[in-house]
A and B are shown apart, each in its own frame.
Chain A
Amino acid sequence: MNEKDVMLLEDTFKKFYFEHFDLLHVPESPKLREFGFQKFNGGMNRHITLKSDKELHLLLMQNKPSDVYCSNACYRFPNLPMTEKDWLNADLIFDIDAKDLRKTHSVNNSVIKCSDCNQISSLSDSCHNCESTKLAVITLTCSDCIKSTKDEVKKLNQILTDDLGINPQSIEIFFSGNEGFHIYVPKSEYQEIGSKERAEISDYIMFRGAIPETFGFKKFNSNKSSLPKFEDDGWNGKLAKQLYGTKSNRSKSIQKIISGGYSLFQKRLEQFRDTIGIKIDPNVTNDIHRIFRLPGSINSKSGLTKIFVENLEKFDPYVDACFIDDEETNVKANCPIKFSLKNKKFGPYKNEIVSLPKFAAIYMICKGIASTT
């Protein structure tokens, strides 16, 4: 990113932080957490300790970070190198991101940026300018993607409460600041389990590694009555809906399933991973030493804020998580498609200098499709 862009972003982010200290808090037991931050065009600074909101605010003002992070884990010595930190426990966290839900990109909200000539074109297999196939896909605001990630969050919440026995009151949902949600479960009975145990929980949630026996299908002598029923708890009930469609269909479907044989059923279970498994990012959940984007901070991939979601149904990230003002800002914009932010439509722009409200200008610079020069 060029220097003028960096300066604009730094000043804008700093202004946001200054005006919104109320959104930025250190989490519970701050002295036991590891903090970290990144600067624009800079590397990661980790192993930082902060004692209070005040120290956090000071860090934001002094360092003008592009991104700010905090561990979900607590350590006895959070500022020492990883091997000496002495891990104590960690909040259970989940990441649901539109990128893991999409099967394909849509021309309506994705563009490509060529890694060879930097040209931005509408979605296709090669650069419109130089025909290179080294491309990065850039996704812009999309209400469909937000809707499907929200649905996934709801499904996750149901498993967390019904199956894992987590009190719904202690589940906290945050918009990630880009195109997903971060789900926190602080202070649960799962607080002290390690990475391997968390991987088992991830696999459960994602429906990974299921075997036919679990659903009453044996290699020999399968018993009709032991196959999933609609009213069963856990995955059994959910699988019943997938397998039979309707209750009245059960008996007929089971006949088919059993005559299809063991390995066919095993295959179908693997396919169900894609349909009924929850699409969390297992790396996030299983990593107990991660530093995770700090709530209230801006995500430099978009200029939107990672923010607590009170009402998931009503939450609109493109309005509720966009805190930058609408001061007129000139940028050279290169965006072949339309997008909408704060209920306003923008684009398309053909490599032209335009005057935009600052929030849209910042969004486009963060996405890599505009520049101040």
Chain B
Amino acid sequence: MVNLGSDEIIKYPFLDEAGKYLSDKGFSLEDFALNSDLKKIVENAFERITISLDGHIYKSDLTSNTASTTTETFSFLIAVILLKLAGMNTLTRRFSLAEARRAEKFLEKDLKNQHDDKSRKISLEILQELFSVTIQKEDEYFTIPIVDYLKHSINFHEREWKLINRKITNGKVQLTSHETVRLVRKELDRYIFSKINSSSSPEMIQGFEPYVTKLKLLAKKFEVKTVESTEYPPCIKHAIEVLEKGENLSHSGRFLLATFLLNKGQTVEQIAPLFKNAPDYNAKVTFYQLNQLSGTSGTVQYKCPSCEKVKSQNLCFPIPECDPIINPIQFGRKRV
């Protein structure tokens, strides 16, 4: 177990140790409804969520006195409770992504920190315990075993993450502190998300209701009115469902969905809202990519991938109607 100081509890409030810190303080949830100081924290917690919904990162007060440690850590834990009460997956998705980004910043700084051995040690321990990456510091670099590196880098599509584009010696990959943390970004997000997901749902707490109601309203903003999809093949329905749930759809899944709908004659403006729920949604990027695929930006229009290709990407869920076709585009067409 990682032994955290109060500084680290603020930075990494999703670790078990942080929860323990609070129970040690002897608060109960009911106190939050009554005590006006604590009410302020609920306000903070709500803010922490809304900031994440806008895709921003919550800024922390790292002055590290007892008061700030309590407020900071509580605001995270109360945020989790609010999210559980609201029960909207989209909100949790966005929140955990923002929290992961926030922790990432601290991890990187701590790794680099030459003057504070303790912070550095803790960041190394977190990486080891949560993601089983064994990191060593060598001169100005960090090195990790090739096998550990591959386990994570394999999910990246950028060419710079290919093993050939890494300096490797004697079974180890050289990374900067930034790259080291970037390597586990996805897993950090997943870790926080599943941590929240698996925590038990509390009963409604007095004083929390207005916030929960507001959150539910906010979640509506991310809901998608999908186009009638009954005549779509199962692979497309699946992709839409994943997005509707606010879950992450793989790059190839997005490519499939976008090219399919574009080929069916839908416009970029019609399709873009579908991606609004993705945890890493960015309007500008989405439009740019859709325009690329559609050919409106001067390139040729991309074709919808074949069923075989879709199958190889584990995105195919065939039904009998799929039998005669080799491309999802053909689904539902009558043979002449």
Contact = CB atoms under 8 A, between A and B. Distances in A.
A190 B168 CA distance: 15
B34 interface: no
A197 B167 CA distance: 17
A234 B147 contact: no
B150 interface: yes
Contacts of A196: 154
B171 A189 contact: yes
A211 B166 CA distance: 10
A214 interface: yes
Given A189-B145, A189-B147, A197-B150, A203 B168 contact: no
B10 to A, nearest CB: 36
B73 to A, nearest CB: 38
Given A193-B150, A200-B150, A207 B164 contact: yes
Interface in B117-164: 145-147, 150-151, 153-154, 159-160, 162-164
B63 interface: no
Given A189-B145, A197-B151, A165 B164 contact: no
User: Most B CB atoms within 10 A — which of A162, A166, A200, A211?
Assistant: A200
B163 A200 contact: yes
Given A164-B171, A193-B147, A197-B151, A209 B160 contact: no
A37 B141 CA distance: 50
Contact of A210 (B151, B165, B169): B165
Contacts of B146: 164-165, 190, 201
B35 interface: no
B160 A234 contact: no
A211 B168 CA distance: 15
B172 interface: yes
Contact of A211 (B147, B153, B165, B170): B165
A196 B150 CA distance: 9
A108 interface: no
A3 interface: no
B171 A203 contact: no
Interface in B164-191: 164-172
Interface string A201-226: 10110011111011000000000000
A189 B148 CA distance: 10
Contacts of B153: 200
Interface-central residue, A165, A192, A201, A236, by most chain B CB under 10 Å: A165
Nearest to A205: B164
B159 A211 contact: yes
Contacts of A213: 160, 165
Contacts of B168: 163-164, 204, 233-234
A315 interface: no
B145 A204 contact: no
Contact of A214 (B165, B169, B172): B165
Contacts of B169: 162-163, 165, 233-234
Given A162-B169, A165-B170, A166-B171, A200 B147 contact: no
A326 B146 CA distance: 50
Nearest to A206: B164
Contacts of B170: 162-163, 165
Of listed B150, B159, B164, B168, residue having the most chain A CB within 10 A: B164
A193 B147 CA distance: 7
Given A190-B147, A193-B150, A209 B167 contact: no
Interface in A173-206: 189-190, 192-193, 196-197, 200-201, 203-204
A295 to B, nearest CB: 26
A87 interface: no
A103 to B, nearest CB: 23
A210 B146 CA distance: 17
B174 to A, nearest CB: 9
B162 A209 contact: yes
A16 interface: no
Top-6 shortest CB links A-B: A165-B171, A197-B150, A214-B165, A200-B163, A165-B170, A204-B163
Interface of A: 162-166, 189-190, 192-193, 196-197, 200-201, 203-204, 207-211, 213-214, 233-236
20 contacts: A162-B169, A162-B170, A163-B169, A166-B171, A190-B147, A193-B147, A193-B150, A193-B151, A197-B151, A200-B150, A200-B153, A200-B163, A201-B146, A209-B159, A209-B164, A211-B165, A214-B160, A233-B167, A233-B168, A233-B169
Given A164-B168, A197-B150, A211-B159, 9 more contacts: A165-B169, A165-B170, A189-B147, A189-B171, A190-B147, A193-B151, A197-B154, A203-B162, A211-B165
